[in-house]
Amino acid sequence: MSSSTIMTGPAQRRRTVRKFINVVALSLSGLATAIGLFFLGAILWTLVKNGLAGMSTALFTESTPPPGESGGLLNAIYGSVVMTLVGILIGAPIGMLAGTYLAEYGRTSRLSSVIRFVNDVLLSAPSIIIGLFVYSVFVFQMKHFSAIAGALALAVIAMPVTVRTTEDMLNLVPQGMKDASTAMGAYPWRTITSVIYPAARSGIVTGLLLAVARISGETAPLLFTALNNQFWSSNLNAPMANLPVVIFQFALSPYKNWQQLAWSGALLITVTILILSIVARFVVSALNPGAGR
Amino acid sequence: MNTVAAIEPRHAAGQRLRERLFRGATFTAAVLVLVLLGGVALSLLKGALPAFSHFGFAFLTQEVWNPVTEKFGALAPVYGTLVTSLIAMLLAIPVSLGIAIFLTELAPPWMKRPVGVAIELLAAVPSIIFGIWGLFVLSPILQHHVQPALIAWLGPLPVVGKLFQGPPFGIGVLTASVVLAIMVVPFISAVMRDVFETVPDVLKESAYGLGATTWEVIWKVVVPYARTGMVGGIMLGLGRALGETMAVTFVIGNAHRVSSSLLAPGTTISASIANEFTEAVGDLYTSSLVALGALLFLITFSVIAAARFMLLRLERRALSNV
């Protein structure tokens, strides 16, 4: 900053410079937000444009076709729904129990802080690693790929999510309610199941919805657990088609009809997940405005 | 306790049994979390052992990846993983910081929530969607409009020019980095926003009272106060970028080599595993891929652990301030 030749003096000039920097920096941060929103818009726009072109009833009534023939995604949709549900049914109860331990029984114990830390690591661990893990402890031992292996991998991913949300939500329940129940002579399990769970119900449901949203788009852990299946299969002990892996294979194929199906599948998954995430938010704000953001 | 047991012995005994069962169930589930992480680490180590013992330290330093002659080295995937994540972070950090500043300090109240939710929704979009979008939309744009310009302008420069040599493939290291950046921005900005909101208003108001501009308040009060948490958020995003699979697999080109040019195809650890694992024949090939996975686990584990420690420290400080 050279000393000024401007008539208003150095202090005035410094002020102008500071204000100028202020405006530039703040505009840049507004620009950054615009960039973020732009990409969300661009991705959604591409999905809707390409995905809607392939929407038809055949999408929901026919199985994945060979190259060049018409077909739908029925087997993949079915597989995704089944594996996500089984994954949640295995992962969520365990996650809820573990979250209950962290929030109620072992709130301040040393073990709990270790578990919290490990859970956080699992929460952000690369999902392909989870796939490798389930492959080596399950698929490799069974000697074949199967839908149940895929569901297990999804359960491992859903579990830490539910642990975290359950603990957070149980912590929101006022201590007074717990004390009141204890004062009436209730054992802790009674207090937890009859007072704390009902009070935290919406929060727990939100956690479950977020866990479903998280696992229903996971691709990497399914690649070498559930694999894929071009045909209709409802056998949990055999490879099963699923939307993410079908999208992966079809999008990278040279066939136009497969690519179209990949786009439609991508639109289906994204819309489902966005709806789940938005509904989850509403459930929280209905329970406790301002708590869950 | 004795009186209760005397009045209703059977009831109390039943209660105590259920209490023990319930408590045991929650405890078992909690310990299962530990077992799970241990299991993941052990199974990776066990699977990786043949490759590590066969190639030794050379596994880390060799670029060759040849399934036919069964010679495998991790250099190219490790290099690709680190470089794509590094560039992604260079692109994502300023943008995330901008978003976090906008959401906490600038946006009018009616705008905060919808914009915040929109950015968070971007985080919920599954990675395969970013992959398919990156392949069909982003990479043609980069190939036809951005990369030729980079080659023309930056290519002739000394040193930096090395990074922008060769034909514009569209897919490659740079494209993968851009997709990764778009993916991690919502994570980093969400953490930064939450961290910024822990800054006590008194501090900000004092600075305003001294005549500071909004930017000066942010840069000299908010950011220094929130530094630890910001770094935690960045590391969390980095952990995400390092382990990301599908988005990268679509756009990186899957070539096992280390090129000086960012425009050339490359590969990452997760992309190699995703592409080759089901097709790998032979124990050594499979084991080498698992060994890659073990390396990835090691890298991401350290990054995530560091991030969590930093955020934890911040949480404690925020609690002690209340």
For chain B, 322 residues long, the average pLDDT of each consecutive 10-residue run is 54 86 95 94 93 89 88 92 95 94 89 87 90 92 88 82 82 93 92 90 92 91 88 89 92 86 90 89 90 94 85 73 56
Instruction: Give the chain B residue nearest A100 (alpha carbons).
Output: B26
pLDDT band for position A293 (cuts 50, 70, 90):
very low
User: What pLDDT score does B9 carry?
Assistant: 63
pLDDT score at A291: 43
Q: How confident is the model at residue A285 (pLDDT cuts 50, 70, 90)?
A: low
Say what the pLDDT of residue A233 is: 83
* Angle subtended by helix axes B173-196 and B227-243, to nearest 10: 150
Q: Exposed/middle/buried for B219, CB within 10 Å: 0-12, 13-18, 19+?
A: middle
Average pLDDT over residues A71-90: 93
Whether A44 and B125 have beta carbons less than 8 Å apart is answered as no
The minimal CB distance from A36 to the residues B30, B99, B106 is found for B99
Tell the residue number behind the tokens 């202090």, with chain if given.
A11
Residue of A43, A129, A243, A269 to mutate for B, most B C-beta atoms under 10 A? A129
Contact with chain A for residue B115, Cβ under 8 A? yes
Helix (H) or strand (E) holding B66: strand B65-66
CA distance A141 to A145: 10
Nearest to A270 among B15, B125, B215 (CB): B125
Q: Are residues A125 and B97, on separate chains, in Cβ contact within 8 Å? A: no
Query: Interhelix angle for A110-124 vs B283-321, to 10°?
Result: 120
What token pair was written down for A57?
A: 């009833």
B28-39 as b/e: b if 16+ CB within 10 A = ebbebbbebbee
Nearest residue of A to residue B121, measured between CA atoms: A274
Cβ contacts of A182 on chain B, cutoff 8 Å: none
**What does the pLDDT read at residue B273?**
93
Residue A3: what pLDDT? 47
Give B72's strand partners: B65
**What pLDDT, on a 0 to 100 scale, did the predictor assign at position B29?**
95
pLDDT at residue number B7: 52
Which among A246, A249, A216, A129 has a CA at the least distance from the CA of B250? Answer: A249
Give Cβ neighbours of residue B94 (< 8 Å, ≥ 6 apart).
Answer: A32
Predicted pLDDT of residue A57: 85
Is the pLDDT at A290 greater than 70? The verdict is no
Q: Are A29 and B98 in contact (CB under 8 A)?
A: yes
Cβ partners under 8 Å of residue A154, min gap 6? A83, A84, A86, A87, A88, A91, A215, A218, A221, A222
d(CA A107, CA B201): 30
pLDDT of residue A151: 94
Q: Extract the tokens encoding B220.
A: 């000299």
Report the largest interatomic distance among the alpha carbons of chain A, rounded to a whole angstrom: 85
Q: CB of A68 within 8 Å of any CB in chain B?
A: no
CA distance A61 to chain B (A): 23
Longest dimension (CA), chain B: 92
Question: Burial level of A141, CB count in 10 A (0-12/13-18/19+)?
Answer: exposed
CA distance B76 to chain A (A): 18
Cross-strand pairs, B66:
B71
Q: Which residues of A touch B250 (CB under 8 A)?
A: 251-252
For the stretch A218-273, pLDDT in tens is: 999 998 888 888 888 888 888 899 999 999 999 988 898 899 999 999 999 999 99
Place of tokens 């694992």: B277
| 3-class SS of residue B72 | strand
Judged by a CB distance cut-off of 8 A, whether residue B111 touches chain A is no
**pLDDT band, very low/low/confident/very high, at A198 (cuts 50, 70, 90):** very high
Mean pLDDT of A135-147: 88
Average of pLDDT values for A46-72? Answer: 87
CB distance B187 to B155 below 8 Å? no
Minimal-distance CA residue of chain A relative to B294 = A129
